[in-house]
Amino acid sequence: MNPGIIFLLVLVGAPLLELYVLISVGSEIGALSTILISVFTAILGAALVRMQGVSVLMRVQQTMARGEAPALEMLEGALLMVSGVMLLFPGFITDMIGFLLLVPPLRQKFIVAMLKRSGALSPSPPGSGPAPDAKVRRVNIIQGEYRRDDD
C-alpha cells in the first residue's frame, strides 16, 4: 500500500478514533472525570519520561566513555521522546501507546523489530563467522607523525 495513503489514514483516522473513545468514556464517567484522567496521565507520563530519559542519558555517557557508539541508547531516547509526545496528546489510545513505550523491555523489543525490518540488523548466515577453534589475528596499529627528509 502507498505510504502516503497510510499516512493520510493515520492523520485523519487517529484523531477521529481518539475523539470517539473520549466521548464514549466521557458519557460513562462524566466529562470532568475524563478531563482529569487525561490531565493526570499527561503529568504522570511527563514525570516517567523524564526519569527514564535521565537513565538513558546516563547509559549513553557510559557507552561513550567505553569508546563505543551509543546507537541503541539513542534509539531508546528517540522512542522516549515519541512516548512523551503521545502522553501529552489528549486521548486514551495515545496514552496507552505512550505508556507501553515506557516499559523498557517492550521498547527494546520494538527497537530490535524495527532494526530487523529495516535490514540494519540481520542474523548472520551459518558459517559466515570464524570457526570456534580458529585463531583470530590481532593487528597492532601504531599512530604517529613522520617526516620525510630527501637528500
The set of residues, in sequence order, having a beta carbon less than 8 Å from that of 88 and lying 6+ positions away, is 42, 45, 46
Given a contact cutoff of 8 angstroms between Cβ atoms, the answer to whether 41 and 49 are in contact is no
Domain boundaries, the chain: 11-118
- What's the distance, CA 30 to chain centroid? 35
Give pLDDT tens digits for 21-61.
Answer: 999 999 999 999 999 999 999 999 999 999 999 989 999 99
Q: What is the pLDDT along the chain (151 residues), one digit of tens a residue?
A: 788 888 888 888 888 999 999 999 999 999 999 999 999 999 999 999 999 999 899 999 998 888 888 888 899 999 999 999 999 888 899 999 999 999 999 998 998 888 888 877 766 555 555 555 555 566 677 777 878 888 6
